[in-house]
């Protein structure tokens, strides 16, 4: 979707959509942390997709992944 389409669909000012895009493109650490927590949570539940087509859908968590999932 274009920024204009997002603004129209969600009834937001175009400037707010553009500001949100610029924020995400700046790669703030909070977004990376949220992504890592989501991945750890999915891994702990066995719902993350396999990384490779030959890899089983469920895999064991590393100690680090489990600790991250426990904190969230």
Distances (CA, A) of 56 to 4, 15, 43: 40, 44, 12
pTM of the model: 0.51
28-49 pLDDT, tens digit per residue, is 999 889 988 888 888 787 776 6
The residue written with tokens 């703030």 in the block is 28
Band of pLDDT at residue 14, cut at 50, 70 and 90: very high
| Burial classification of residue 40, based on how many CB atoms lie within 10 Å of its CB (0-12 exposed, 13-18 middle, 19 or more buried) | buried
DSSP helix/strand/coil, 24: helix
């Amino acid at each position: 979707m274009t920024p204009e389409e997002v603004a129209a669909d969600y009834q937001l000012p175009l400037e707010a959509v553009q500001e949100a895009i610029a924020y995400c493109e700046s790669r703030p650490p909070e977004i990376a942390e949220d992504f890592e927590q989501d991945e750890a949570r999915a891994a702990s539940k066995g719902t993350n997709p396999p990384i490779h087509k030959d890899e089983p859908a469920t895999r064991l968590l590393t100690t680090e992944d489990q600790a991250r999932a426990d904190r969230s």
